[in-house]
Structure 1
């Protein structure tokens, strides 16, 4: 269950870090994008497409003195929704809570939580012209990784508000993996924008993994996380300030996941069995990183 919860957080992540200053460069647009949620309430319906599958999702987002308030609801298939209230994330299916977690330290679902300098250390920023999404003029910003250990992004930012209207995730060869795009969109400027609190990108205390791509820090460590009805795992959450992924480590059981590799749009899943000192464990890497990077993270155990 927790792996599905993590995939939901990755979807929510694209739209939880999104004032009206003029912006000319890609750097300036990204600063506006990362600050805009503190100046606007926004909501709408968006489509999420990958590998021929299309989901329709309703999203609303606000930030107040209590923190972020977000709701993401799937409009197709089984009723599913993710709710964020401050530092609490709740996953519901058919109205019943199936997972709940508390954010520790840096917000793992916040895009560009590390600030502009952190982003530019590992990514190049470029303006790629202008476009139009859901009837609104937009500026296109491309975020290209400086190495092959992370994915790229092409963003369509609303020219008036700098809110995110569309996002395409790109693999290391610049091929499109998945697309998020609003089909209806509304926003209201705050009377008094909230002041953005600076968040340090510090790793979780005492947390380490055998190997991580440069720039990724552990922001969350949890023990005994339920990953299915009968399974518990240790979980590590990692981010480079733009992309996120998680690592689950659990004892090997008869009904454990089989070794293998899966990819769902921009999200990869690598499952590996590890035996050491006569103890067998299952390591699962899941998140928005290239497949070869996920394989290397798992192979280091």
Structure 2
């Protein structure tokens, strides 16, 4: 009994410290998520996936509950995105098209993925680590480790000045970095209004494309067995343009795709379901932390896209079913 009492008296203070540290890390994640919405900042961030590097510029302004944002790709095909609150306008100069749609979730960098603090501690452990330096700013590192093999780990770095996420890394089960998004330069404070305007001013001959997204409640499609901790957070039908030929008069064709979205609070997996097309082939593709898995199921084509290990993708794929209502 004395030995047990001694061990408990020794261990309990440490368990309390670990619990406090986990709570502090979770609290900082929440602050970091809110900081992406409620701060004024501009700069350039870089996405590294395997041996590929892509850079984008960003400008974000917050004023009394209103958000304005512009993101422009600096590599590859030119793209610009402007946003006022939930309204997004996408500019695609190669097809001379302007697409308008509503934002579905707040998960684009520098937001914290699909952040939802409820029950995260059941599937991840959290701890605060060292002070690092990113883009000339000191930031606190948060280490997020998965408690099973069904999800990846993360390393975030929150600016000491305002809690804005300056870097996120996604790591596999061996702690190898699969993907990284990081500011290479960032400025805090007032944002010039011109930085929020599109650079494509002469668009009178561009085609307007409305991104039709409608909530779906009775599709009949379901995933019987999800990875532990994942829940369906959204089911929508999207009208997607899938055909573009520069020399064709009819440059756009559209078809409807059902999208089921699942999340454990950090990681997100989408299941896209559409009619079979003769040009489609079974495929598995890994891009950084993102796995893309496509296959035929009856008269439908199923594509699963998620920032999770292949184990979770396979579990979802094997559990997709349709029940007519």
Give the TM bin, normalised by the shorter chain.
0.7 to 0.9
Q: Name the CA shift for 1:150/1:185 in 2 (closer, same or farther; >3 Å).
A: same
Corresponding pairs, count = 261
Residue deviations 1:169-204 (CA, integer Å, cap 9, x gap): 1123321111111111011289xxxxxxxxxxxx98
Q: Kindly indicate whether the alpha-carbon contact (under 8 Å) linking 1:149 and 1:289 is maintained by their aligned counterparts in 2.
A: yes
Q: Which residue does the alignment assign to 1:91?
A: 90
Distance in 2 separating the partners of 1:182 and 1:299: 38
Which of 271, 284, 288 is the matching residue for 1:261? 284
SS in structure 2 at match of 1:173: coil
Offset of residue 236 of structure 1: 1.7
Offset of residue 59 of structure 1: 1.3
- Structure 1 unmatched ranges of 5 or more: 1-23, 191-202
Q: Kindly indicate whether the alpha-carbon contact (under 8 Å) linking 1:225 and 1:235 is maintained by their aligned counterparts in 2.
A: no
Q: Kindly indicate whether the alpha-carbon contact (under 8 Å) linking 1:204 and 1:219 is maintained by their aligned counterparts in 2.
A: no
Residue deviations 1:240-299 (CA, integer Å, cap 9, x gap): 22122211111112112x101001111110001112xxxx21100012121221122122
Which of 310, 314, 317 is the matching residue for 1:291? 310
Offset of residue 131 of structure 1: 1.2
Q: Say if 2:301 is the partner of 1:271.
A: no
Distance in 2 separating the partners of 1:57 and 1:103: 19
Q: Which residue does the alignment assign to 1:8?
A: none
SS in structure 1 at match of 2:149: coil
RMSD value, Cα = 2.9
Q: Residues 157-236 of structure 1: matches in 2 within 5 Å?
A: 157-188=158-189, 208-223=222-237, 225-226=239-240, 228-229=242-243, 230=253, 231-236=255-260
Q: Which residue does the alignment assign to 2:198?
A: none
Q: Name the CA shift for 1:38/1:235 in 2 (closer, same or farther; >3 Å).
A: closer
Residue deviations 1:35-76 (CA, integer Å, cap 9, x gap): 323542111101111111111111122344565432221111
Q: Kindly indicate whether the alpha-carbon contact (under 8 Å) linking 1:111 and 1:243 is maintained by their aligned counterparts in 2.
A: no
Q: Kindly indicate whether the alpha-carbon contact (under 8 Å) linking 1:267 and 1:286 is maintained by their aligned counterparts in 2.
A: yes
Q: Say if 2:262 is the partner of 1:238.
A: yes
Q: Which residue does the alignment assign to 1:73?
A: 72
Offset of residue 146 of structure 1: 2.1
Offset of residue 84 of structure 1: 2.9
Q: Name the CA shift for 1:264/1:112 in 2 (closer, same or farther; >3 Å).
A: closer
Offset of residue 227 of structure 1: 5.6
SS in structure 2 at match of 1:296: helix
SS in structure 2 at match of 1:71: strand
Residue deviations 1:8-60 (CA, integer Å, cap 9, x gap): xxxxxxxxxxxxxxxx9323322321232354211110111111111111112
Query: Could you tell me the TM-score, scaled by structure 2's length?
Result: 0.71
Q: Kindly indicate whether the alpha-carbon contact (under 8 Å) linking 1:108 and 1:239 is maintained by their aligned counterparts in 2.
A: no
Q: Which has the larger radius of gyration?
A: 2
Q: Kindly indicate whether the alpha-carbon contact (under 8 Å) linking 1:172 and 1:290 is maintained by their aligned counterparts in 2.
A: no
- Structure 2 unmatched ranges of 5 or more: 1-22, 192-214, 244-252, 321-325
Distance in 2 separating the partners of 1:189 and 1:139: 24
SS in structure 1 at match of 2:40: strand
Q: Which residue does the alignment assign to 1:51?
A: 50
